[in-house]
Structure formats: C-alpha cells, structure tokens
Amino acid sequence: MPPSSPAAPTSDTDRLAELRSRIDQIDEQMHGLLIERSNIIDALVEAKGTQNSGGTQSAGPDSPSDAPTGAAFRPLREADMMRRLVERHEGSLPMVTVEHIWREIISTFTRLQADYVVHLDGSADAIDMRDAARFYFGFALDLVTEEDPDAVVAAVAASTTDLGVIALTRAAETPWWRALGGSGPHILARLPFLLETGRPADMPALVLSPPVSEPGDPDISVYCVTWMAGKRPDNALAQAGIEILARHTSEGTDALIAVPGDVTIDAIAAILQDAGAEPGPLREVGGYAAAIDLDDSDDDDF
C-alpha cells in the first residue's frame, strides 16, 4: 500500500480557518480598544477630579479612589450611552447581552474611580437580587446583604462611597424612603433599564447612592409625599403619567412617586388636592433615566 499522504484541506476547513482567523482579529481589535478606553479613563479620572481626595496614596487604576462615589457615577451619561447602543444595534446578538457587556465595562471603570460596595435589600428574593446586582454592577464588586430596605438606606447614609439596591415592592413594610433626599442618599437609577419580556436579571429595583455631583436633569424625578389614609389618588396620578413606586399606610399614607421631568411640584400637589388626598409637602429624593422598552421597538432585530 502506498503511504497515506495528509488529506488536502477541503474548502470547508479552509473556510473555517479563515472565519476563525477573522474572529481572532476582531478579538484583538476589541482588546486593543478596551486597553485604549482604560487609558482614556485614566485621563478622565484626572479631569473629573475623582482621584484620591488628599490621602497619601496616589489613586490610579491600581488604587481606587476614596473620593465620594457620587463623583464617579454619571448615571445620565450611562443612559445616553445605552440609548446609542440600542439605536446602533443590529444582528442576532441579543441586545440584553450587549447591555450586560457594557454594564461590566462601565462598572469596572467606575470602580477605578471610587472604591465602593453595594448593599442589597435582604428582604427580596436572594437570587433575583444578586442577579440584578451582578448584571448592573459587574462581578468584581463586593456585595453586602442587609436585613431590609431601612438597613440599606442606613448603610448608604453612613458612607460617602457605597451604593444600595432596594427591590420595588408596591406595598412596602416600612416607609424606608423617608430618610432619602437632602444630604442623605438619593435614588440614582431604576432597574432594569432595558425592558424586554423574559430578559434575565429582571427584578424591579431602585439604586441608591450618596448625592451625585452632577445629577443633571433626569427624565423621571422621584418624590416622597404623604396623603390621608384611605385615599387612593392612583387614577388621577396615572393620568398625569405619575407612577406610585411604593406606598406604606399606617395613620396616613407615605408614598414614593415617579414623575415625568416636565411635571412641576405644584402640579403634583394640585392633582393630589383635587383627588381629595390632602397631600403633605413634596420632597424630591432623586431621579433616573426613563427605561427603554425593547418590546415596543419597531426594530425586529431585538
């Protein structure tokens, strides 16, 4: 028998090798771009002044800052970036996967600017809460589970750097939001940001932070308000696009409401008054970027 010679490459194996080589090139480009992005973040950290505020250590990518986390976070900028990703996206890669990759990148670069931990609401389902926190803040971050929403608020209030995540429960056990606002914690974001039926990490939650240095003008402002027990101004509020995020009723009703940015505080008070709810003073306690509903999109690629 003649010695067998190696099989000549078939056109299929050629094609496979060519595609893998193209994937390697793309991976190299992506890696190079991430390295370039991290170099830009180093310069941005200096420009933003989020470096170590006066300690002996110099802060840089290897030594996260002890500057307030609020100085590092730019939630509205993050929302703009996410909107552009949604607009540009096409093809078979699920949009929520793109969101996840970018959340990991942004969280990592935030972590280079401020050293913080995230306090989680232990009264919520532990797996759902952890999924939401990991999806939004990445896998490198320290998570601390607190007993309940009040303990999360207290932990964020006791720190200049830490964040909190509280599950949104319409009928709340306590009016935990009373301690928000002013120099206390603020609501910074609402999760999830991209809405899609069946998406992973879909537990509705609010993110708390120390006051951010440039809060900007959020699409949705969040207010605390009280009204008379037994009154249900839900429909009147809904007609103005106002959502009751959570409420707690004892002698009166304490509510946390989400209000479109163009509705004034006087207009909210008037709606409640007209509905016979006799509201107390309204206090703004934060705001967030409006979510993007992928199910509503005209684009079939989602």
Ligand X SMILES: O=C(O)C(=O)C[C@]1(C(=O)O)C=C[C@@H](O)C=C1
| Residues found near ligand X in the complex (CB under 6 A) | 44, 48, 72-74, 77-78, 106, 109-110, 113
- Nearer CB in complex with ligand X: 217/266: 217
Structure-block tokens of residue 33: 């771009």
Give the shortest CB-214-to-ligand X separation in angstroms.
9
E strands in 172-264 = 186-191, 194-195, 205-209, 220-228, 243-249, 252-260
Question: Closer CB to ligand X, residue 63 or residue 145?
Answer: 63
Minimum distance, C-beta of residue 213 to ligand X, in the bound complex (Å): 10
What are the backbone angles phi and psi of residue 157, rounded to the nearest 5°? Answer: -65, -30
- Complex with ligand X: residue 86 or 270, whichever CB lies closer: 86
Nearer Cβ to ligand X (123/209): 209
For residues 134 and 112, give the distance between their C-alpha atoms in angstroms, rounded to a whole number: 17
Which ranges in 73-232 belong to alpha helices (H)? Answer: 75-88, 95-111, 126-137, 149-157
Q: Which is nearer to ligand X, 74 or 134 (CB)?
A: 74
Furthest-apart CA atoms within the chain: distance in Å: 100
Smallest separation (angstroms) from ligand X to the CB of 61 = 12
Instruction: Give the whole-angstrom CA distance, residue 68 versus residue 162.
Output: 8
Residue 288: name the closest of 206, 183, 173 by CA.
206
To the nearest whole angstrom, how small is the minimum distance from the Cβ of residue 113 to ligand X?
6
Closest-approach residue to ligand X (CB): 109
Rounded least distance, CB 17 to ligand X, Å = 36
Count CA within 13 A, CB hemisphere, residue 250.
4
Nearer to ligand X by Cβ, of 73 and 136: the residue is 73
Decide whether 35 or 171 has the Cβ nearer to ligand X: 35
Residues for the chain: how many in total?
Answer: 302
Give least dist CB 102 to ligand X, A: 9
Beta strands 220-228; 194-195: pairing state? unpaired
Q: How far is the CB of 142 from ligand X (least distance, A)?
A: 18
If the CB atoms of residues 136 and 176 are measured against ligand X, the closer one turns out to be 136
Please say whether the beta carbons of 121 and 148 come within 8 A.
Answer: yes
What 3-state class would DSSP assign to 78?
Answer: helix
The distance of closest approach from Cβ of residue 258 to ligand X in the complex, given in angstroms and rounded to an integer, is: 21
H helix runs in the chain, sequence order: 11-48, 69-72, 75-88, 95-111, 126-137, 149-157, 234-239, 265-274
The torsion angles phi and psi of 194, rounded to 5 degrees, stand at -100, 120
